[in-house]
Amino acid sequence: MTENTNIETQNEITVGEMLRNARTTGRRKREIQTISKQLCIREEFLQALEDGKYDIIPETVYILGFARNYAMELGLDPEEVVAKLKKEMGLVSEVEENEENDVAEKNVGNEEVKNEKWYHRVWTKGLKFVRNNWVWFAAGIGALLIIIAVILVVSLSSASDMNATSDNASIVQAENIIEPEYNVTVREKFGTENIENAAVILQATQESWVKVEDARGNTVFSRVLVPGDVYYVPSGDGYSAVFGNAGGVDVWVNGILAPKQGADHVRVADISMNPEKLLPAVSTVE
């Protein structure tokens, strides 16, 4: 009864109330000013989300993007918050949502029954087999422990040499990285795990929401960038991006500035991150 009551209560409150409660209750109470600096989102936009005054935020894509980042920062489920927000804004009908919930509940119930029967059968047979063959199990465990001990001794003896080689390789790779001559002083770098192979680098010259997806449509990066922020796009085919403010994002391809993907304050989607499409003339010459 308590779990069902909590779920019903959470469904009744608004997205703004969910965000405010997560920020102001519990052990970790936080101020909007602090979160605003961490997320690089204006205080008035975060306050508008909590107050449900979505008309203060210029575009729907910004509303959903800000809400997603705010929810993740507060430890909430971003998908749940965005879905609830779409419903509040009239972007998803209540009938469709109820149908999806009914199907999900039925599937979960059936799956629990199947798992319970499967688990019971395996557990019973497993215990019986171990009881009948406990001597072999003991011998096998002993042999496994001996093998693990030998592997640890060999690994520790060569660990220092491997670390030294790895450090030298990292230094050489770092020296080979050539950063573009950015138009704006670099503020913060994102996607640094891709820095060694990134042929495409994005830098915000104006505040802009940027989302990058892989070939399957999975989001690999989603954030509001402020002037100076840099993101290293993963190498490989199939990556595409959405710019909330296309004129406010510089796209660098192998150190060369590509043409703008759109005008200031214009949202542009399905922007290919393929170097040949971003800078076809240079790719042809090479």
pLDDT in tens, 200-213: 999 999 999 999 99
- The pLDDT value given to residue 162: 64
- The pLDDT value given to residue 203: 95
Strand partners, 224: 209
Residue 157 lies in a domain: no
- Residue 65 binned pLDDT confidence (cut-offs 50, 70, 90): very high
- The residue from 58, 88, 118 where one domain ends is 88
Q: Largest Cα–Cα distance in the chain?
A: 75
> Which domain, by its residues, includes 277?
189-285
Question: Who's near 225: CB < 8 A, 6+ residues apart?
Answer: 40, 190, 202, 204, 207, 208, 209, 210, 231, 249
Residue 167 lies in a domain: no
Rounded to whole angstroms, the Cα distance separating 3 from 218 reads 32
Q: In Å, how far are 170, 207, 231 from 200, measured between CA atoms?
A: 21, 19, 9
Residue 147 lies in a domain: no
- Is residue 136 scored above 90 in pLDDT? no
Q: Output the domain CATH number for residue 57.
A: 1.10.260.40
- The residue from 88, 111, 145 where one domain ends is 88
- Token digits of residue 282: 């240079």
- Residue 90 binned pLDDT confidence (cut-offs 50, 70, 90): confident
Domain count for the chain: 2
The mean pLDDT value for 43-72 works out to 90
Higher pLDDT, 180 or 28: 180
Each residue's pLDDT tens digit, 102-127: 544 444 444 444 455 566 667 777 77
Residue 159 lies in a domain: no
Residue 128 lies in a domain: no
- The residue from 57, 88, 119 where one domain ends is 88
- The pLDDT value given to residue 95: 46
Residue 219 lies in a domain: yes
Rounded to whole angstroms, the Cα distance separating 190 from 182 reads 15
Which 3 state secondary structure label does DSSP give 201? strand
User: What percent of the chain stands above pLDDT 90?
Assistant: 42
Residue 162 lies in a domain: no
Residue 58 lies in a domain: yes
